[in-house]
Amino acid sequence: MIRCDTWRINAQEWATRFAVTCAIGVGLIAGTGSAAFAADTWLILSDIDGRQVGAMQHVDDGDSFRVYDSNRDGHSVEGCLQSWTPRTGWVTLRCKNNDSGAGTYESFNFDVITGIPYRMRLCNALVPCATQGFNE
């Protein structure tokens, strides 16, 4: 025979253990979303046949931007960083032209501020420009 007061103690212990376990799990999940674990952002520019022409990467650690030329077509690739402002729309902050040749990259640094919408724009003379938005 189980006594009711014993069951209440066991239920209270179980509820406490469950609450502590949930709190630890939530803390671990919230910790992995911090800026230290932020991922890099990539933008790939492809031609009409799906071949990669160029790429742009935002390296979150250090706010470095890399513009890659992927194709030996004799045309350079230009990558730009833009920010959104309500009055004027997208404003170009900095650009880098990679005319160093296929398989290389050119880079620039820009201090990206939390809370402002940014996007990368990548262009080549042979294909339309592509964009990729991101936030810090």
Give per-residue pLDDT as tens, 71-93: 888 889 999 999 999 999 999 99
pLDDT at 109 over 80: yes
Q: What is the mean pLDDT of residues 8-31?
A: 44
Place of tokens 């350079």: 76
Distance between first and last Cα of the chain: 60
Name which of 115, 117, 119, 113 is nearest 131 in CA terms: 119
pLDDT at 28 over 80: no
CA–CA separation, 39 and 61 (whole Å): 9
Q: What is the pTM of this model?
A: 0.70
Q: What is the mean pLDDT of residues 109-134?
A: 95
- Give the percent of the chain with pLDDT over 90: 59
